[in-house]
Amino acid sequence: YIPGSVGASWFYQKFGCRNGVVVAGLFNCLSAWVRCLGLFDKTNSGFWFLLLGQVIGACVQPFFTNLPARLTSIWFPVQERDMATTIAISLNPLGAALGTILPSALVSEDGGMGKLLFTEAIIVSTPFVAALFFFSEEPQHPPSRTAFDRHESRVYARDETNNTNTGNSDTLREQLKSCMKDKNFMILTLGYGLSLGIFNALATLINQITRPAGYDDNDASLFGASWILSGMVGAAVAGMVLDKYHKYNETLKVCFLFGTLLTVILTLEIRPNNTIVLALCWGILGFFVTPITVIAFSCGVECMYPVEEEITTGILMSSGQIVGIVLTLLLGWLIDNQNQYGESYIFEPSYLVLDSASVLANVFIMFYHGLYKRFESDCELYSSLLES
């Protein structure tokens, strides 16, 4: 993910938003249809085609996950920007939920893999065709002061790149250095990285975490659905709050605080015959944890302005991916070696690791005090217009 994230940032800076979306959509579409070729491979059961398709799709993933903040800053005014970012980011877990529903709906012991792969290929191809014919680089008139400044700086940077062989690479390198040297952004990266890592680990291991207490796949599906649906509601609420009050730091800290409390409560409630309470815990946890991505992306853009949005987003996402891999492997190993439910079940090492990581993430965020540089830049324009 990290090399792909750097590549996506470089591509967007050099070739623009539209070209990045179209190229990423093309390769994402290609990955789905390559997987379909595995249906006709009778020698290896299509394994290598499936693997190749997965690799292609993984390589272009950062083009999409790092895009929302940049896209909304180009197309939406200040009073709509946070909600637009919320909607764009929320489509990712919604797509993930759809990806978990389709296999169970289309595949059975009697077959159906072909129907699944072709359905996924058609779904993936639709937005690519739409982007190819209907998606523009930017609106005719910039919706905000910062959008106008971004437009001017990008035009200048591309002109410099055309005149030299290293202009774009130098710009990307300098912006990366600027992020690494900023104390508040690094605190945000550490806190959000732990939070996203916990989120990814829970999403991956939700079945394994609850199984020792006697819950099956259907229960895990219920918990996951409760988490995702409540999370989308929470993200929508956070988007409205941010659009109206622009209290990014305060909202972020509230979500982290309740996310930590709910994580601890969840691990205490994992015991037999407690399905309803667990579903509520997963749902409330999702309500507070899911908006963290939206708020953290906005905080990163605000405190590092005028660094490009996809760069700050890419760094934040990369930190979460790294922590997510480590936590998933560690928790998976701990869960595999823990006993079935017993009297001391609440003190299982996997739960202690999960709670400790959540508390540590909360501690980091409590020390985050980033400035609202982008928002203040937009406000300066509005103030000057009112005075004139």
Confidence check: pLDDT of 206 > 90? no
Q: Per-residue confidence at 164, pLDDT binned at 50, 70, 90? A: low
Confidence check: pLDDT of 260 > 90? yes
Which one has a higher pLDDT value, 320 or 337? Answer: 320
Tell me the CATH number at 309. Answer: 1.20.1250.20
Is 297 within a domain?
yes
Average pLDDT over residues 197-202: 89
Average pLDDT over residues 61-79: 87
Is 369 within a domain?
yes
Is 388 within a domain?
no
- Percent pLDDT > 70 in the chain is 89
Confidence check: pLDDT of 169 > 90? no
Report yes or no: 192 and 320 within 8 Å, Cβ to Cβ.
yes
Structure tokens at 193: 């990285």
Of 117-126, 163-172, 258-267, 281-290, the poorest mean pLDDT is in 163-172
Is 385 within a domain?
no
Predicted structure pTM score: 0.84
Bridge partner list, 267? none
Q: Which candidate, 168, 133, 165, places its Cα nearest to that of 9?
A: 168
pLDDT for 343 equals 53
- Average pLDDT over the chain, rounded to an integer: 85
Q: How far is Cα 351 from Cα 213, in angstroms, rounded to an integer?
A: 13
Q: Per-residue confidence at 326, pLDDT binned at 50, 70, 90? A: very high
Number of domain units in the chain: 1
Residue 232 structural domain: 2-375
Q: How far is Cα 260 from Cα 247, in angstroms, rounded to an integer?
A: 20
Q: How far is Cα 272 from Cα 215, in angstroms, rounded to an integer?
A: 7
pLDDT for 259 equals 94
CA end-to-end span of the chain:
48
pLDDT per residue as tens digits for the range 140-160 = 888 787 777 776 776 665 665
In one letter, which amino acid is 134?
F
pLDDT per residue as tens digits for the range 83-93 = 888 888 888 87
Is 235 within a domain?
yes
Is 384 within a domain?
no
Is 386 within a domain?
no
